[in-house]
Amino acid sequence: MSAHFDLTFLSKQPQPANPKALVVLLHGVGGSETNLVDLAATISSETLVVMPRGPMTLGAGQYGWFRVNFTSTGPLIVETEAEQSRQTLLRFVAQLQSVYSIGPRKTVIAGFSQGGILSASVALSAPELVAGFGVLSGRILPELESHMADKARLKNLHAFIGHGEYDSKLPVMWAQRSDQLLSDLGVAHLTRLYPIDHGISAEMRADFLSWLQSITSGV
């Protein structure tokens, strides 16, 4: 961890000398900063891709953003930990933007599963910080409601929702709820469903990359 940053992270190598955009990729619960290196490798060489490690140690080489129990009535989170991670990521993204001189309109935050959850939490609570967010097999926390920005602040935000139709960890209803919520909030978004379980398929990755390119190129 650098004195400049609140989180330990990997960045895609070779790192561009003067990056034109910033993408922050967040791993899922029990994962690490190495989990999304394959996805990072497919992102434009002009983009700085940063993969932070979740602040909670759950086991050897296993990290997370908050603890969660999967119950018969749905996921039960430790809300205080989720909120602490949201605050940490708000600072971390701002630190990256300052150090690398990249503005919010060229910044995207995205992640898998719990990483997607935190990406949505950051973007929907502080839309001035990023141009868009991606939720890959994740959800938007109902607990975020009290921190969510109003419609006027959200009007320039963009989102990508990708989810497996047969997701056994976070059922597809979570993607449908996210789609409806974003429509209600007036957030421009693309929702895509795939014939997979809990994961990132090649098709989901391709759709996300196409969406990402449209956002970071200013289209």
- pLDDT of amino acid 182: 98
Residue 23 lies in a domain: no
Residue 9 lies in a domain: no
Cα angle vertex 13, ends 113, 41, to 5°? 45
- What is the DSSP track for 36-82? THHHHHTS-TTEEEEEEPPSEEEETTEEESS-EEEETTEEEE-HHHH
Residue 199 sits in a domain whose CATH number is 3.40.50.1820
Which sign, positive or negative, has the C-alpha torsion 10, 44, 164, 108? Answer: positive
User: How many structural domains compose the chain?
Assistant: 1
The string over 171-191, giving b where at least 16 C-beta atoms fall within 10 Å of a residue's C-beta and e elsewhere, is beebbeebbebbeebebebbb
Domain residue limits at 163: 32-217
Averaged over 43-56, what is the pLDDT?
96
Q: Would the pLDDT of 30 be above 90?
A: yes
Residue 24 lies in a domain: no
Q: Taking the model in full, what pTM does it have?
A: 0.95
Residue 178 lies in a domain: yes
Residue 50 lies in a domain: yes
Q: Could you read off the pLDDT of 90-99 as tens digits, one per residue?
A: 999 999 999 9
Residue 15 lies in a domain: no
Q: Per the structure block, which two tokens stand in for 84?
A: 């602490």
Residue 11 lies in a domain: no
Residue 61 lies in a domain: yes
- Reported as a pLDDT band with limits 50, 70 and 90, residue 217 is confident
Number of DSSP helices (H) and strands (E) in the chain, helices first: 6, 11
